[in-house]
Structure 1
Amino acid sequence: MSRNIFCEILRFLRFDYKSTRSKRLKTDKFVLFSTEWNRFIDNSIACYKPGPNITIDEQLFPSKARCPFTQFMASKPDKYGQKYWLAVDKESKYLVNGFPYVVKEEHRATEES
Protein backbone atom coordinates (compact mmCIF):
# COMPACT_ATOMS: atom_id res chain seq x y z
CA MET A 1 0.00 0.00 0.00
CA SER A 2 1.38 3.39 -0.88
CA ARG A 3 1.84 6.10 1.74
CA ASN A 4 -0.73 8.38 0.11
CA ILE A 5 -3.44 5.71 0.17
CA PHE A 6 -2.61 4.93 3.79
CA CYS A 7 -2.88 8.62 4.74
CA GLU A 8 -6.18 8.87 2.88
CA ILE A 9 -7.58 5.91 4.83
CA LEU A 10 -6.41 7.45 8.12
CA ARG A 11 -8.32 10.64 7.35
CA PHE A 12 -11.62 8.75 7.39
CA LEU A 13 -10.84 6.13 10.03
CA ARG A 14 -12.77 6.74 13.27
CA PHE A 15 -13.12 4.57 16.34
CA ASP A 16 -15.95 6.51 17.95
CA TYR A 17 -18.95 8.74 17.31
CA LYS A 18 -17.84 12.36 17.03
CA SER A 19 -21.26 13.71 18.08
CA THR A 20 -21.08 12.15 21.57
CA ARG A 21 -17.33 12.39 22.08
CA SER A 22 -17.20 15.43 24.38
CA LYS A 23 -19.84 13.99 26.73
CA ARG A 24 -18.06 10.65 26.99
CA LEU A 25 -14.61 12.21 27.47
CA LYS A 26 -15.83 13.84 30.68
CA THR A 27 -16.34 10.43 32.30
CA ASP A 28 -13.58 8.32 30.70
CA LYS A 29 -10.26 9.52 29.26
CA PHE A 30 -9.76 6.29 27.30
CA VAL A 31 -13.21 6.36 25.68
CA LEU A 32 -11.95 7.07 22.16
CA PHE A 33 -10.39 3.65 21.91
CA SER A 34 -11.93 1.71 24.80
CA THR A 35 -14.38 -0.40 22.76
CA GLU A 36 -11.61 -1.67 20.46
CA TRP A 37 -9.24 -2.23 23.39
CA ASN A 38 -11.91 -4.17 25.32
CA ARG A 39 -12.70 -6.26 22.25
CA PHE A 40 -8.99 -7.03 21.83
CA ILE A 41 -8.59 -8.03 25.50
CA ASP A 42 -11.76 -10.17 25.43
CA ASN A 43 -10.39 -11.93 22.35
CA SER A 44 -7.02 -12.47 24.08
CA ILE A 45 -8.72 -14.00 27.11
CA ALA A 46 -10.99 -16.22 25.02
CA CYS A 47 -8.31 -17.52 22.65
CA TYR A 48 -5.56 -18.49 25.05
CA LYS A 49 -5.28 -20.63 28.17
CA PRO A 50 -2.33 -19.22 30.16
CA GLY A 51 0.10 -21.35 32.08
CA PRO A 52 0.57 -21.26 35.85
CA ASN A 53 3.09 -18.40 35.74
CA ILE A 54 1.81 -14.94 34.82
CA THR A 55 3.76 -11.74 35.23
CA ILE A 56 2.11 -8.37 35.80
CA ASP A 57 4.03 -5.23 35.03
CA GLU A 58 3.69 -1.74 33.68
CA GLN A 59 4.62 -0.94 30.09
CA LEU A 60 5.22 2.54 28.74
CA PHE A 61 4.47 2.75 25.03
CA PRO A 62 6.46 5.76 23.80
CA SER A 63 4.41 8.46 22.17
CA LYS A 64 4.41 12.20 21.72
CA ALA A 65 0.73 12.31 20.78
CA ARG A 66 -1.60 14.72 22.50
CA CYS A 67 -3.45 12.42 24.82
CA PRO A 68 -5.20 13.13 28.14
CA PHE A 69 -3.37 10.25 29.84
CA THR A 70 0.20 10.66 28.58
CA GLN A 71 2.63 9.86 31.38
CA PHE A 72 6.13 11.09 32.18
CA MET A 73 8.48 8.47 33.61
CA ALA A 74 12.02 9.69 34.18
CA SER A 75 13.37 6.17 34.73
CA LYS A 76 12.41 4.96 31.23
CA PRO A 77 14.52 5.45 28.07
CA ASP A 78 11.55 7.08 26.33
CA LYS A 79 10.28 9.56 28.89
CA TYR A 80 6.76 10.22 27.56
CA GLY A 81 4.07 7.79 26.51
CA GLN A 82 0.94 5.85 27.42
CA LYS A 83 1.26 3.58 30.42
CA TYR A 84 -0.48 0.20 30.51
CA TRP A 85 -0.67 -2.50 33.16
CA LEU A 86 -0.32 -5.86 31.43
CA ALA A 87 -0.67 -9.47 32.54
CA VAL A 88 1.51 -11.67 30.33
CA ASP A 89 2.09 -15.43 30.25
CA LYS A 90 5.69 -16.06 31.30
CA GLU A 91 6.42 -18.92 28.91
CA SER A 92 4.86 -17.74 25.65
CA LYS A 93 4.89 -13.96 26.36
CA TYR A 94 1.24 -13.83 25.25
CA LEU A 95 -0.84 -10.89 26.49
CA VAL A 96 -3.53 -12.30 28.78
CA ASN A 97 -5.06 -9.09 30.11
CA GLY A 98 -4.31 -5.39 30.36
CA PHE A 99 -5.68 -1.95 30.97
CA PRO A 100 -4.44 1.60 30.45
CA TYR A 101 -3.37 3.76 33.36
CA VAL A 102 -5.39 6.93 32.84
CA VAL A 103 -4.41 8.78 36.04
CA LYS A 104 -6.46 8.99 39.21
CA GLU A 105 -10.02 10.05 38.51
CA GLU A 106 -11.34 12.73 40.87
CA HIS A 107 -15.07 12.02 40.44
CA ARG A 108 -14.95 8.34 41.43
CA ALA A 109 -16.38 7.40 44.83
CA THR A 110 -13.84 6.09 47.36
CA GLU A 111 -15.60 2.75 47.83
CA GLU A 112 -15.72 2.10 44.06
CA SER A 113 -12.78 0.12 42.65
Structure 2
Amino acid sequence: MLEEISDCTIAEARRDNGDRATWDVSIMELKAFIALLYVRGAYCGKNIEMESFWSEQWGNAFFNATLSRNRFRDIMCYLRFDKKETRQCRLTTDKFTHVRKPDKFGITFCLAADVDSKYMLNGFPYLGKDASRPATQRLRENVVLRLVEPFVGGTRRWPVAVFYNVLDLAAINAWVLYRSCMSQNIPRRDFMLQLAHELRAEWMASKAPPLADVPFTVWDAVCGKRTAKVLNVCINCV
Protein backbone atom coordinates (compact mmCIF):
# COMPACT_ATOMS: atom_id res chain seq x y z
CA MET A 1 0.00 0.00 0.00
CA LEU A 2 2.80 2.41 0.87
CA GLU A 3 4.48 1.70 -2.46
CA GLU A 4 1.26 2.59 -4.30
CA ILE A 5 0.85 5.80 -2.27
CA SER A 6 4.47 6.71 -2.97
CA ASP A 7 4.05 6.19 -6.73
CA CYS A 8 0.83 8.23 -6.85
CA THR A 9 2.35 11.04 -4.77
CA ILE A 10 5.42 11.26 -7.00
CA ALA A 11 3.23 11.27 -10.12
CA GLU A 12 1.12 14.13 -8.74
CA ALA A 13 4.17 16.22 -7.81
CA ARG A 14 5.72 15.82 -11.26
CA ARG A 15 2.40 16.43 -13.02
CA ASP A 16 1.55 19.52 -10.99
CA ASN A 17 4.89 21.26 -11.30
CA GLY A 18 7.17 20.86 -14.28
CA ASP A 19 10.09 22.23 -12.27
CA ARG A 20 9.86 19.18 -10.01
CA ALA A 21 10.58 16.57 -12.64
CA THR A 22 13.00 14.88 -10.26
CA TRP A 23 10.85 15.17 -7.11
CA ASP A 24 10.81 11.91 -5.20
CA VAL A 25 9.66 10.36 -1.93
CA SER A 26 10.78 6.97 -0.71
CA ILE A 27 8.81 4.47 1.35
CA MET A 28 11.23 5.11 4.24
CA GLU A 29 10.43 8.83 4.14
CA LEU A 30 6.71 8.10 3.84
CA LYS A 31 6.92 5.99 7.02
CA ALA A 32 8.67 8.89 8.76
CA PHE A 33 5.85 11.17 7.56
CA ILE A 34 3.27 8.79 9.07
CA ALA A 35 5.31 8.69 12.29
CA LEU A 36 4.87 12.46 12.63
CA LEU A 37 1.12 12.08 12.21
CA TYR A 38 1.04 9.48 14.98
CA VAL A 39 3.10 11.65 17.34
CA ARG A 40 0.82 14.59 16.67
CA GLY A 41 -2.16 12.44 17.64
CA ALA A 42 -0.40 11.13 20.74
CA TYR A 43 0.15 14.70 21.91
CA CYS A 44 -3.51 15.57 21.25
CA GLY A 45 -2.49 18.01 18.56
CA LYS A 46 -5.58 17.56 16.37
CA ASN A 47 -6.71 21.13 17.04
CA ILE A 48 -3.19 22.58 17.02
CA GLU A 49 -1.73 24.04 13.86
CA MET A 50 0.57 21.39 12.43
CA GLU A 51 3.40 23.78 11.60
CA SER A 52 3.67 24.91 15.22
CA PHE A 53 5.36 21.59 16.01
CA TRP A 54 8.47 22.95 14.23
CA SER A 55 8.52 26.18 16.24
CA GLU A 56 11.97 27.02 17.64
CA GLN A 57 10.45 28.07 20.96
CA TRP A 58 7.48 25.71 21.41
CA GLY A 59 8.14 22.97 18.89
CA ASN A 60 8.83 19.26 19.34
CA ALA A 61 12.38 17.99 18.79
CA PHE A 62 11.03 14.75 17.30
CA PHE A 63 9.57 16.70 14.35
CA ASN A 64 12.69 18.76 13.65
CA ALA A 65 14.90 15.67 13.76
CA THR A 66 12.68 13.67 11.39
CA LEU A 67 11.64 15.99 8.55
CA SER A 68 11.96 19.68 7.82
CA ARG A 69 8.80 21.74 7.85
CA ASN A 70 9.01 22.48 4.12
CA ARG A 71 9.53 18.82 3.29
CA PHE A 72 6.49 17.87 5.37
CA ARG A 73 4.48 20.55 3.51
CA ASP A 74 5.52 19.13 0.15
CA ILE A 75 4.54 15.57 1.01
CA MET A 76 1.20 16.69 2.44
CA CYS A 77 0.53 18.87 -0.61
CA TYR A 78 1.18 16.13 -3.16
CA LEU A 79 -0.10 13.17 -1.12
CA ARG A 80 -2.32 11.12 -3.45
CA PHE A 81 -3.85 7.65 -3.47
CA ASP A 82 -4.61 7.32 -7.18
CA LYS A 83 -3.36 8.76 -10.47
CA LYS A 84 -5.54 11.44 -12.05
CA GLU A 85 -4.68 10.46 -15.61
CA THR A 86 -6.26 7.01 -15.16
CA ARG A 87 -9.49 8.07 -13.46
CA GLN A 88 -11.60 8.25 -16.60
CA CYS A 89 -10.48 4.77 -17.68
CA ARG A 90 -11.26 3.33 -14.27
CA LEU A 91 -14.75 4.80 -14.32
CA THR A 92 -15.59 2.63 -17.33
CA THR A 93 -14.38 -0.59 -15.70
CA ASP A 94 -15.52 -0.04 -12.10
CA LYS A 95 -18.58 -2.20 -11.54
CA PHE A 96 -19.74 -0.02 -8.67
CA THR A 97 -20.56 2.79 -11.10
CA HIS A 98 -23.44 0.85 -12.70
CA VAL A 99 -26.90 2.01 -11.86
CA ARG A 100 -28.63 -0.16 -9.25
CA LYS A 101 -32.36 -0.95 -9.34
CA PRO A 102 -33.93 -0.77 -5.87
CA ASP A 103 -37.31 -1.97 -7.16
CA LYS A 104 -35.69 -5.20 -8.40
CA PHE A 105 -33.10 -5.92 -5.72
CA GLY A 106 -34.70 -4.34 -2.63
CA ILE A 107 -33.58 -1.37 -0.53
CA THR A 108 -30.46 0.38 -1.78
CA PHE A 109 -27.89 1.86 0.58
CA CYS A 110 -25.24 4.32 -0.55
CA LEU A 111 -22.04 3.54 1.31
CA ALA A 112 -18.53 4.95 1.53
CA ALA A 113 -16.17 2.13 2.49
CA ASP A 114 -12.49 1.27 2.36
CA VAL A 115 -11.83 -1.04 -0.59
CA ASP A 116 -9.34 -3.33 1.18
CA SER A 117 -10.66 -3.54 4.74
CA LYS A 118 -14.37 -3.16 3.78
CA TYR A 119 -14.70 -0.80 6.76
CA MET A 120 -17.76 1.42 6.31
CA LEU A 121 -17.03 5.11 6.76
CA ASN A 122 -20.48 6.57 6.04
CA GLY A 123 -23.79 5.59 4.47
CA PHE A 124 -27.46 6.36 3.99
CA PRO A 125 -30.46 4.59 2.38
CA TYR A 126 -31.79 5.59 -1.03
CA LEU A 127 -35.27 7.03 -0.43
CA GLY A 128 -36.18 8.11 -3.91
CA LYS A 129 -35.96 11.58 -5.37
CA ASP A 130 -34.42 14.09 -2.99
CA ALA A 131 -36.27 17.40 -3.07
CA SER A 132 -33.36 19.19 -1.39
CA ARG A 133 -30.94 18.35 -4.20
CA PRO A 134 -30.14 21.42 -6.33
CA ALA A 135 -31.49 21.21 -9.85
CA THR A 136 -28.04 21.89 -11.30
CA GLN A 137 -26.42 19.06 -9.33
CA ARG A 138 -26.33 15.54 -10.72
CA LEU A 139 -27.54 12.68 -8.54
CA ARG A 140 -24.21 10.87 -8.36
CA GLU A 141 -22.44 14.11 -7.45
CA ASN A 142 -24.97 14.75 -4.67
CA VAL A 143 -24.53 11.21 -3.29
CA VAL A 144 -20.74 11.50 -3.20
CA LEU A 145 -20.86 14.89 -1.48
CA ARG A 146 -23.25 13.56 1.16
CA LEU A 147 -21.05 10.53 1.81
CA VAL A 148 -17.85 12.53 2.24
CA GLU A 149 -19.46 15.36 4.20
CA PRO A 150 -18.06 14.21 7.60
CA PHE A 151 -14.54 14.17 6.18
CA VAL A 152 -14.53 17.49 4.37
CA GLY A 153 -12.59 20.12 6.30
CA GLY A 154 -11.76 23.71 5.51
CA THR A 155 -8.12 22.97 4.67
CA ARG A 156 -7.95 19.30 3.83
CA ARG A 157 -8.91 16.92 1.04
CA TRP A 158 -11.41 14.25 2.01
CA PRO A 159 -9.25 11.32 0.75
CA VAL A 160 -6.62 12.45 3.26
CA ALA A 161 -9.25 12.32 6.02
CA VAL A 162 -10.04 8.73 5.01
CA PHE A 163 -6.29 8.02 5.06
CA TYR A 164 -6.16 9.36 8.62
CA ASN A 165 -8.99 7.01 9.60
CA VAL A 166 -7.11 4.05 8.13
CA LEU A 167 -3.99 5.02 10.11
CA ASP A 168 -6.06 5.27 13.29
CA LEU A 169 -7.55 1.82 12.77
CA ALA A 170 -4.15 0.31 11.96
CA ALA A 171 -2.57 1.77 15.11
CA ILE A 172 -5.43 0.71 17.38
CA ASN A 173 -5.44 -2.82 15.95
CA ALA A 174 -1.67 -3.05 16.41
CA TRP A 175 -2.01 -1.87 20.02
CA VAL A 176 -4.72 -4.45 20.78
CA LEU A 177 -2.71 -7.27 19.19
CA TYR A 178 0.47 -6.23 20.99
CA ARG A 179 -1.22 -6.25 24.39
CA SER A 180 -2.82 -9.61 23.66
CA CYS A 181 0.29 -11.34 22.27
CA MET A 182 2.88 -9.82 24.62
CA SER A 183 0.65 -9.79 27.74
CA GLN A 184 1.72 -6.22 28.48
CA ASN A 185 -0.74 -3.57 29.61
CA ILE A 186 0.93 -0.69 27.79
CA PRO A 187 -1.04 2.59 27.52
CA ARG A 188 -2.17 3.41 24.00
CA ARG A 189 -0.32 6.75 23.97
CA ASP A 190 2.98 5.09 24.90
CA PHE A 191 2.45 2.44 22.23
CA MET A 192 1.76 5.14 19.61
CA LEU A 193 5.00 6.92 20.48
CA GLN A 194 6.97 3.67 20.27
CA LEU A 195 5.32 2.91 16.94
CA ALA A 196 6.32 6.33 15.64
CA HIS A 197 9.95 5.73 16.65
CA GLU A 198 9.96 2.38 14.83
CA LEU A 199 8.38 3.85 11.70
CA ARG A 200 11.03 6.54 11.37
CA ALA A 201 14.01 4.39 12.44
CA GLU A 202 14.98 3.31 8.91
CA TRP A 203 14.69 6.88 7.60
CA MET A 204 16.81 8.29 10.44
CA ALA A 205 19.46 5.63 9.83
CA SER A 206 19.65 6.64 6.17
CA LYS A 207 20.18 10.30 7.17
CA ALA A 208 23.00 9.55 9.63
CA PRO A 209 26.54 10.33 8.39
CA PRO A 210 28.66 7.27 7.57
CA LEU A 211 30.82 6.03 10.41
CA ALA A 212 34.58 6.49 10.06
CA ASP A 213 36.76 3.42 9.95
CA VAL A 214 38.08 2.56 13.42
CA PRO A 215 41.67 1.24 13.53
CA PHE A 216 41.09 -1.97 15.45
CA THR A 217 44.64 -3.15 14.69
CA VAL A 218 46.86 -0.47 16.22
CA TRP A 219 50.50 -1.60 16.33
CA ASP A 220 52.28 1.72 16.92
CA ALA A 221 52.40 3.62 20.23
CA VAL A 222 50.68 6.70 18.80
CA CYS A 223 49.38 8.22 22.04
CA GLY A 224 52.71 7.99 23.83
CA LYS A 225 51.29 6.01 26.75
CA ARG A 226 51.97 2.56 25.30
CA THR A 227 55.63 1.61 25.29
CA ALA A 228 55.28 -1.76 23.58
CA LYS A 229 53.87 -2.57 20.18
CA VAL A 230 50.86 -4.74 20.90
CA LEU A 231 47.77 -5.68 18.93
CA ASN A 232 45.28 -3.55 20.86
CA VAL A 233 42.89 -0.61 20.60
CA CYS A 234 43.65 2.55 22.54
CA ILE A 235 40.78 4.99 23.05
CA ASN A 236 43.18 7.93 22.80
CA CYS A 237 44.42 6.75 19.42
CA VAL A 238 40.89 6.43 18.07
Normalising by structure 2, report the TM-score: 0.17
- The structure whose Rg is larger is 2
Structure holding more helix per residue: 2
Normalising by structure 1, report the TM-score: 0.28
Structure holding more strand per residue: 1
